[in-house]
Structure 1
Amino acid sequence: MNLRFVEAFYWVVTFKSVTRAAEKLCLTQSAMSSRVAALEEELGVLLLDRRDRRFRLTVAGIRFAAYAERLLEMQREIRLEMGAVQGQAVSLRLGTIDSVLHAWLVPAVERLRAEHEGLEFQLSVETTPVLLEQARRGTLDLIFAAQPAVADGLRSRPLAPMEMVLVGNAGIHRKTRYRPQDIVELDLLTFQRGSQPHIDLLDMFRQADLEPRRVHTMSSISAMTQLAESGFGVATLPRAAAEKLNAAGRLKVLRFEPALPSLPIHASYRADPGSDVIENVAQAVFAFIEQQQATVRPRGRRPG
């Protein structure tokens, strides 16, 4: 039995879609359909009910779906036992929000590349809604976003939230302490409309019965940093990213009350019965993050 055909059927069942399964395996839809058809011919039964456009398994398809998963798991165990996976070239489709990229993803990727020979990355930097949809569709293997991806077969784990701070030009913003009324008339820079930092910023002003004059939204931390450095306005950024991007020392972290809510971070990935790669990489990233946190002493908010 051709296990590539079994794998194709497994992912069709997982995504309830030939199109999405084809995206997952980087195949054309016709190639995916051909593999399922070849498996049906070999088994001598129909696995998919093709009478209309709705996705349905036949009775035989429902029965074989469990066997397909077991066959792929057995293939994985055999490869592991025989050492066939060592040094094997593997492509990991990784997606992240900009905050994670600038905070800790680069050193994490460097560590992974050193520890996993043959690992090749395809990195996408997107907004949380885009990442969640791509994880659900199977076009990304592992994502780091502000929300967990929810779908059958997806696993999610909350990571340490990111401390959010307000930053501005160090030469302009000289006060030792800031409150909402001190910045309400300034140009404010934050993430895209509807993002958690954008919502939290607006809520902060509403609770103080204030209406900010201008709130600029953008997807690039680098752009916000450069605008804040130039004196254009005050930006909400993750502290870790702000500190890394402040090489010239022109940015100032404002001592602000009330403190901005932290940005939640979640890792989401899809379990693959035919491979341990995604699970192993995810666990390695979690271990790296925990190690990084252990080396950083807890600190209070520093004066601006």
Structure 2
Amino acid sequence: MNLRFVEAYYWVVSLQSVSRAAEKLFITQSAMSSRIAALEDELGVLLLDRRDKQFQLTVAGKRFFTYAQRLLELQREIKAEMGAGTHAATSLRIGAIESVLHSWLIPWVQHMREALPGFELELTVETTPVLVEQVRRGTLDVAVAALPSAGDGLRSRALPAMEMVFVGHRELHRKRRYLLADLAGFELLTFQRGSQPHVALIDFFRQDGLEPRRVHAISSISAMAELVEGGFGVATLPLAAVRQIGARKPLKVLSCERKLLPLPVHVSYRDDPTSSLTRTVVDAMLTHLGVSTNHRKNR
């Protein structure tokens, strides 16, 4: 049995799409369809129900998927035992929100480069909704975002939340401590509308019966830092990012009578029975952040 055809079938089922599976394996959609057809011919059964446009497995297809996963895992174990691919380049598609990029991502990448000399990184920096959808569709292998991805075959782990702070201009905001009423009078900058920081900021003031003068939704930390530097207003940013950017800009963390809610961070990924790379990379990320590597499957 050709295991390339088995792998093709595994990803078609996992991603519930011939086109997305073809994209993941870097082959054409027609080549992917041919591999599935050849596998069906060899097994003597139909695996996919092609009678309508909706993705659906046959009864035989559901049964064979379990065998396909076991076959691919066995192939991976044999290669690991025999030492195959030990020195091969390893590429992984990772997506992250900008808050992570400006905090611990770069030191982690530097560590990975030393630990896995053949590690090749394909990095996407996007908003949480985009990253969650991309890892669900299989266009990313790992996503680090403010929300976990959910779906069959997906796993997620909570990472340490990021402390959020009010940030102003060092020369324009000189008070030692600010009341909520003081902050409500500023032009406020936070992340995109509907995001956790945006919703948390609005609730933050409403709990005290206050309405902010104006809240601007900005998707970029760099843009918010530039606006604060230009005297536009006060931003809510992760403290870790401020410590990095603040070394180059006249930014100041504003002391407030109450603390903002922290920004939750989750790593989401899909287990790959053909390779241990995803698990290795996620484990390295968890270890770097001081989180237990004991994985529990989230379905």
TM-score range, shorter chain: over 0.9
* Structure 2: distance between partners of 1:163 and 1:88: 39
Q: Displacement, 1:26?
A: 3.0
Corresponding residue for residue 235 of structure 1: 235
1:215 is paired with a residue whose SS is strand
Show CA shifts across 1:10-53 (max 9, x none).
11111222122223323332221111112112223221111111
User: Do residues 32 (structure 1) and 32 (structure 2) align?
Assistant: yes
Partner of 2:220: 220
TM-superposed deviation, 1:90: 2.0
What per-residue deviation string (whole Å, max 9, x for no partner) do you get for residues 167-210 of structure 1? 10111111111122102221111100011111111111211222
Give structure 1 stretches of 5+ with no counterpart.
292-304
1: CA distance, partners of 2:258 / 2:28: 52
For 1:201, the equivalent position in structure 2 comes to: 201
The separation in 2 between residues aligned to 1:80 and 1:5, in whole angstroms, is 21
1:81 equivalent to 2:70? Answer: no
Check whether the contact 2:168–2:235 (CA below 8 A) recurs between aligned residues. Answer: yes
Q: The residue matched to 1:78 in structure 2 has which SS? A: helix
CA distance in 2, matches of 1:41, 1:71: 18
Tell me if structure 1 keeps the 8 A contact 2:95–2:140: yes
SS at match of 1:166: strand
The SS at the match of 1:290 is: coil
How far does residue 249 in structure 1 lie from its aligned partner after superposition?
Answer: 5.4
* TM-score for the superposition, normalised by structure 2: 0.94
Contact 2:229–2:249 (CA<8 Å) still a contact in 1? Answer: no
Does residue 244 (structure 1) correspond to residue 241 (structure 2)? The answer is no
Paired with 2:37 and 2:179, the residues of 1 have a C-alpha distance of 65
Report the residue type matching 1:149 in the other structure.
S
Q: Tell me which residue corresponds to 1:285.
A: 285
Equivalence for 1:59: 59
Correspondences of 1:236-275 after superposition (within 5 Å) = 236-248=236-248, 250-275=250-275
Q: Deviations over 1:122-144 (max 9, x none)?
A: 10011111111001101100111
Contact 2:143–2:268 (CA under 8 A) maintained in structure 1: yes
* Cα distance in 2 for residues equivalent to 1:271 and 1:288: 20
> Which residue pairs with 1:179 in the alignment?
179
Amino acid of the residue matched to residue 67 of structure 1? Y
Structure 1 distance, partners of 2:234, 2:278, is 39
Structure 2 counterpart of 1:276, which letter? Answer: S
1:298 aligned partner: none
2:165 is the alignment partner of 1:165:
yes
Q: Distance in 2 between matches of 1:89 and 1:76?
A: 16
* Partner AA of 2:119 in structure 1: L
Query: Percent identical across equivalent pairs?
Result: 62
Point out the more displaced range, 15-24 or 164-173.
15-24
Whether the aligned pair in 2 keeps the contact of 1:88 and 1:117 (CA below 8 Å) is: no
The answer to whether 1:68 aligns with 2:62 is no
One-letter amino acid matched to 1:139? T
Show structure 2 runs of 5+ residues with no match. 292-299
Show the counterpart of 2:296.
none
Shift of 1:151: 0.7
- In structure 2, do the counterparts of structure 1 residues 248 and 14 end up closer, same or farther at CA, with 3 Å as the change threshold? closer
| Alignment match, 1:300 | none
Equivalent residue letter for 1:130: V
Aligned residue in 2 for 1:115: 115
Matching of residue 105 in structure 1 with residue 105 in structure 2: yes
SS in 2 for 1:26: coil
- State the SS of the aligned residue for 2:60: helix
Shift of 1:285: 0.8
Q: Which amino acid aligns with 2:194?
A: G
CA distance in 2, matches of 1:59, 1:231: 64
Aligned residues: 291
| Match in the other structure for 2:7 | 7
Give the deviation of 1:243 after TM superposition: 0.7
